[in-house]
A and B are shown apart, each in its own frame.
Chain A
Amino acid sequence: KAGVTQTPRYLIKTRGQQVTLSCSPISGHRSVSWYQQTPGQGLQFLFEYFSETQRNKGNFPGRFSGRQFSNSRSEMNVSTLELGDSALYLCASSLVAGGNQPQHFGDGTRLSIL
């Protein structure tokens, strides 16, 4: 069974631009979560989607948005990029939202803002 796939692996953007990251969960998984990982900050939760509905949202500005499609694939969009948005963005999927279901992570997208 294929794992969580994130595209692209690397991305370089400049301030003010916008970016869209993609995540394909493990087949059959309906929950997708997004995290921002920076050195010293660990993983900061962005949002979680389940059955095309946003179930949880972290403490990030409205420039960060996401959506989930009927096939459970998810996209994350960041508008008006800032230098501080440089980070590794991780996507994780699980069978359902909540409970003791572990999350399965992708390799991440490394976003660099110049």
Chain B
Amino acid sequence: AQTVTQSQPEMSVQEAETVTLSCTYDTSESDYYLFWYKQPPSRQMILVIRQEAYKQQNATENRFSVNFQKAAKSFSLKISDSQLGDAAMYFCAYRSANTGNQFYFGTGTSLTVIP
């Protein structure tokens, strides 16, 4: 089975600074999708950004961008100009491109934003 590893249980960043959250995954497949989800203290999980493995270009969504290194099986999330509202638990997730395959989530990184 695929595994997703987030080696940083907790991270902190000063407001307006940049922070990078790490994620590695283990798979033997070549076609898959990667996601970053954010879970604020209010609990509802929301999608931050996603990346298709066949795309070489790193995905970007406003202040959020990823560094996708397929050979290294690494998928880090960079948050620029951090804001207080970015404080949350961040989960990295993997899904195979084969129809019907489940999501695999990492254990999460708790991000604190310091004013």
Contacts and interface: CB of A to CB of B under 8 A. Distances in A.
B44 A105 contact: yes
A95 B115 CA distance: 39
A58 B97 CA distance: 18
Interface in B91-106: 91, 95-106
Contact of A88 (B42, B43, B104): B43
A63 B98 CA distance: 28
A42 interface: yes
Interface residues of B, number: 27
Contacts of B97: 98-100
Given A90-B45, A100-B33, A45 B103 contact: yes
A107 B40 CA distance: 11
B68 to A, nearest CB: 14
A102 B99 contact: no
Given A99-B97, A102-B50, A42 B103 contact: no
Contact of A42 (B35, B52, B105): B105
Given A48-B102, A56-B102, A98-B100, A42 B107 contact: yes
- A contact residues, range: 20 to 34
Interface in B59-115: 91, 95-108
A90 B108 CA distance: 15
Contacts of B107: 40-42
B46 to A, nearest CB: 7
Interface of B: 6, 33, 35, 37, 42-47, 50, 52, 91, 95-108
Given A48-B102, A103-B47, A108-B43, 7 more contacts: A45-B103, A58-B102, A98-B96, A99-B33, A100-B52, A100-B97, A107-B42
